[in-house]
Amino acid sequence: MNIKVFFALLLGRLVRWILRVIHRGGTDMPGRIALKLCPQLLRYLARDVKTVAITGTNGKTSSARMVEQAFADAQLSYLANRSGANLISGVTTEFIMNATLTGRPKCDYAVIECDEAAAVKVFPQLRPQVVIVTNLFRDQLDRYGEVTHTLSNIRTALTGLPETTLCLNADCSLTASLAGDLPNKVVWYGLEKSAAPRNVPEPPVSDATHCIRCKTKYDYDYRTYAHLGGFRCPKCGYARHAADVAVTEIVEQKLDGSTVIMDVRGARKLVRANLPAVYNIYNAAGALAAVTEMGIDVDTGIAALGHFNCGFGRMEQFPLGKAGARMVLVKNPAGCNQVLNFLQDIQEHFVLVVCLNDRGADGTDISWIWDAEFEKLGLLGNRLERVIVSGDRAADMLIRIKYAGVPTERITLERSYETIVSQLADEALPIVLMPTYTAMLELRSTVVRHVGGSEFWE
Amino acid sequence: MELKICHLYPDVLNLYGDTGNIVCMSRRLQWRGLGVSVTKAPIGSPLGLSQYDLVFIGGGQDFEQQVLLDDLHRGRDREILAAVEDGMPFLTICGGYQMLGAYYETHTGERCDFIGALDLYTKGSDTRMIGNYKFQCSESAGGSVIVGFENHSGKTYLGAGMEPLGRVLRGYGNNGEDGTEGAHYKNVFGTYSHGPLLPKNPAFCDLLLKTALERKYGQCELTPLDDTAELAAHDEMCKKLE
């Protein structure tokens, strides 16, 4: 412990205190300032903390909440960057707030979600025991660049951490390729053919049609969604690896969750995840792979999946309107397509609110909304009672939905979240709120003001 | 009346929402009671370009570029060149636009030969030209103001006889140096504009459709559509870029 660490911690705490006094979250700035003073602060604070880190394009937050619940149920003392501040500044802030001023960690464990581009800075300092890489899809191309670039970023982040166990999505050909390049122990998870939906067509837009190793077009034994599934390169032989945590059967898929059968390291288990949709089945399998690797008992890990609290805006429910509202964050085409699939399964009529922003954290390029299959909204017919578009780029969202085949008389543009939320208070039909990241922060605050709930940093 | 649209290389050139252009053209034909069919021509499939009325090529990742070049050089480049000379309408975006040029030179000096249908070439640079931008089309391309999103590190330079598609009003355009954006040759419209291009620029979309319809059926007028929503999005971005 040196004097620099002490002052960095003091400064970080002070900044946080000031921000909280003025009702700001302060989930990022304290760390950013403390790191200026002591660039290796995170390494120091994390040195004795056993960490599960989660990175990848989609599912980071939900996976982190699943892992966190297992930690809580196993009665471990842990910290987590729950607010979603997942750059090195946010991660460091969390460690500052969970350390004494002498730099001694107050927790034995940590659950950290980490931005894919930030992993290069975070992982070498954090030195996690286990890293889950959920998947890789095109995402905010203006910020991350091509998906292969993100992949090589993650590879670089993991280089120099040979002791770390990797939990990799076996069905994602991009993610899985990390295994061949690194010496690390790998625990694989994925969906078996027996659990895959029947006859999933080749998606109109795929991020990985050609072999990451030799650029030959992949063959697929089965697909689950997007480019995920039983891929196989006919030329070089690069193919899906058998999964250690394997979903073998989907028993039931409902709006409030899924029940599946998993083969967890050789044991057949019935698993219920309390978030709907196939992508959350993947998240559950990944989380289970990680927590068992951390030494938590399988059944504790499975029980946690059935009662964890989903992250902010991840299918989060609010008592807004007479039939309630769900908020689902969308950030990129793959995630958005999953949500659009989920909407197909809603049997009642419903009201949809889509809020599109183009600020830094959302990506300034909003063209991705045309890669997402909003045409599925057009196919809903009368079940989609109406759509409200909002956000900085509401006008663009409106034309996307118009061209998707939703009649224009069903689409309204409303800039004010306040107006939207107060109007929806009397809504008789179920409501689905679909914001991008920065829109979610504002919209969620407005909803919380009306119906109660906690702010994102609480 | 019906337009047959060929979507070239949708399997590898599908970045940045460019397929939205296909959606846009299709809808605007359907709303007018006109027919449309879209045929995907992925890598390795036979082309037969002459059976189509309009060809669309989008932008893609660098990762698949070699796969694409191998496919092009199996004779497709000659077929595309002939179609261009024959007056086939093309809409080509970013990578698809560069591909119609003579070559691409990486910043380490390596050269990839492209189709050579347009007298232009592209040089790799280490600056990324990225952001919302706008340009004014030349008279021959309708004269409208176009808003889009550009994201490229290649700098494109037009040959002496090559007309640009327009002049940059805000942003970088072809190379960030000479104020030109895109290229217009015969019925080929090449541009860096993602966004996607057509939904927010309905006048340009209709110009393209009219060009294709007239080539096939002779003189025709398009029924006007209610473009209130499209123009609102267009004008909003125009204002942001003032």
A300-327: pLDDT as tens digits: 999 999 999 887 888 888 999 999 999 9
CA A162/CA A152 separation, integer angstroms: 16
Domain coverage including residue B145:
2-240
Half-sphere exposure of B3 (CA within 13 A, CB side): 30
Cα–Cα distances (Å) from A48 to A78, A105, A126, A375, A381, in that order, read 12, 7, 10, 50, 56
Phi first, then psi, for residue A22 (nearest 5°) are -95, 20
- pLDDT tier at A456 (50, 70, 90 boundaries)? low
Searching chain A, which residue's CA lies closest to the CA of residue B194? A367
* Phi-psi region at A24: left, alpha or beta (left = phi > 0; alpha = psi -120 to 50): beta
Quick one: DSSP state of residue A194? G
Beta bridge partner(s), residue B105: B111, B123
Q: pLDDT value at position A455?
A: 65
A370·B233 Cβ contact <8 A: no
Write out pLDDT tens, residues A327-336: 999 988 888 9
- pLDDT tier at A458 (50, 70, 90 boundaries)? low
CA B155/CA B17 separation, integer angstroms: 21
The domain that holds B185 is classified in CATH as 3.40.50.880
- pLDDT tier at A454 (50, 70, 90 boundaries)? low
Q: pLDDT value at position A310?
A: 81
Q: Please, what is the average pLDDT of chain A?
A: 93
CATH tag for A3-307 (out of 3.40.1180.10, 3.90.1150.10, 3.40.190.10, 3.40.1190.10): 3.40.1190.10
CA A123/CA B228 separation, integer angstroms: 49
Domains: count for chain B: 1
When mean pLDDT is compared across A229-233, A377-381, B63-67, the lowest value belongs to: B63-67
Sorted by where each begins, the domain ranges of chain A are 3-307, 314-451
- B190: its two tokens: 């090449």
CA A16/CA A455 separation, integer angstroms: 16
Q: pLDDT value at position A351?
A: 96
Residues of chain B found within 8 Å of residue A204, distances taken between Cβ atoms: 10, 14, 19
A146·B200 Cβ contact <8 A: no
How many A-B residue pairs are in contact by the CB < 8 A criterion? 90
Searching chain B, which residue's CA lies closest to the CA of residue A146? B61
Other C-beta atoms closer than 10 Å to the C-beta of A140 total 22
Phi first, then psi, for residue A306 (nearest 5°) are -85, -15
pLDDT more than 90, % of chain A: 77
Q: Cβ of A214 under 8 Å from any chain B Cβ?
A: no
**List B6, B24, B94, B238, catalytic entry:** B94
Q: Which residue has the higher pLDDT, A146 or A12?
A: A12
Cβ contacts of B185 within 8 Å, gap of 6 or more: B84, B117, B118, B119, B162, B163
Segment A56-60 mean pLDDT: 94
Q: In what order do the strands lie in the sheet with A384-390?
A: A314-318, A325-328, A431-435, A350-355, A384-390, A411-413
Smallest CA-to-CA distance from A126 within A173, A152, A94, A91 is with A91
- A316: its two tokens: 């989060």
Q: pLDDT value at position A253?
A: 84
- pLDDT tier at A1 (50, 70, 90 boundaries)? low
CA B55/CA B76 separation, integer angstroms: 13
Other C-beta atoms closer than 10 Å to the C-beta of A22 total 7
- A17: its two tokens: 């205190």
Cβ contacts of B188 within 8 Å, gap of 6 or more: B84, B89, B90, B92, B100, B117, B118
DSSP line for B182-221: SEEETTEEEE--BTTTTTT-HHHHHHHHHHHHHHHHSS--
B199·A215 Cβ contact <8 A: no
Q: Cβ of A149 under 8 Å from any chain B Cβ?
A: no
With 80 as the cut, is the pLDDT of residue A383 above it? Answer: yes
Cα–Cα distances (Å) from A51 to A76, A91, A114, A293, B95, in that order, read 12, 12, 12, 11, 42
A148·B61 Cβ contact <8 A: yes
- A416: its two tokens: 């004010």
Write out pLDDT tens, residues B92-132: 999 999 999 999 998 788 888 999 999 999 999 988 899 99
Is B94 an active-site residue? yes
Q: Cβ of A156 under 8 Å from any chain B Cβ?
A: no
Burial of residue A183 (number of CB atoms within 10 Å: 0-12, 13-18, 19+) = exposed
Q: To the nearest 5 percent, what fractions of chain B are helix, strand and coil?
A: 30, 30, 40
Q: pLDDT value at position A221?
A: 95
Please say whether the beta carbons of A312 and A164 come within 8 A: no
- A188: its two tokens: 């694989």
Write out pLDDT tens, residues A100-118: 988 999 999 999 999 999 9
B234: closest CA of chain A, how far (Å): 9
Beta bridge partner(s), residue A258: A253, A273
A442: closest CA of chain B, how far (Å): 22
Q: pLDDT value at position A181?
A: 86
H/E segment holding residue A334: helix A333-344
Residue with tokens 């993610």: A175
Segment A275-301 mean pLDDT: 95
* Phi-psi region at A266: left, alpha or beta (left = phi > 0; alpha = psi -120 to 50): left
Beta bridge partner(s), residue A169: A189
A368·B236 Cβ contact <8 A: no
Beta bridge partner(s), residue A252: A259
Write out pLDDT tens, residues A150-203: 999 999 999 999 999 999 999 999 999 999 989 999 999 999 999 998 877 777
Searching chain A, which residue's CA lies closest to the CA of residue B195? A367
A375: closest CA of chain B, how far (Å): 10
Write out pLDDT tens, residues A126-155: 999 999 999 999 887 777 778 888 999 999
Please say whether the beta carbons of A232 and A221 come within 8 A: yes
CA B211/CA B219 separation, integer angstroms: 9
Q: State which amino acid sits at residue A357.
A: N
Secondary structure of A32-80 in the HEC alphabet?
A: HHHHHHCCCHHHHHHCCCEEEEEECCCCHHHHHHHHHHHHHHCCCCEEE
Burial of residue B65 (number of CB atoms within 10 Å: 0-12, 13-18, 19+) = middle
Beta bridge partner(s), residue A264: A245, A267
Please say whether the beta carbons of B4 and B215 come within 8 A: no
User: What topology is assigned to A314-451 in CATH?
Assistant: Protein-Tyrosine Phosphatase; Chain A (3.90.190)
Residue with tokens 């979309």: B205
Q: Cβ of B236 under 8 Å from any chain A Cβ?
A: yes
Is B194 an active-site residue? yes
CA A227/CA A208 separation, integer angstroms: 6
Write out pLDDT tens, residues A344-353: 878 889 999 9
Helices (H), chain B: 20-30, 65-71, 77-85, 95-100, 202-217, 228-240
Q: What is the pLDDT along chain B (242 residues), one digit of tens a residue?
A: 999 999 999 988 887 788 999 999 999 999 999 999 999 999 888 889 999 999 999 988 777 777 888 899 999 999 999 999 999 999 999 999 999 999 999 878 888 899 999 999 999 998 889 999 999 999 999 999 999 999 998 999 999 999 999 999 999 999 999 999 999 999 999 999 998 999 999 999 999 999 999 999 999 999 999 999 999 999 999 999 99
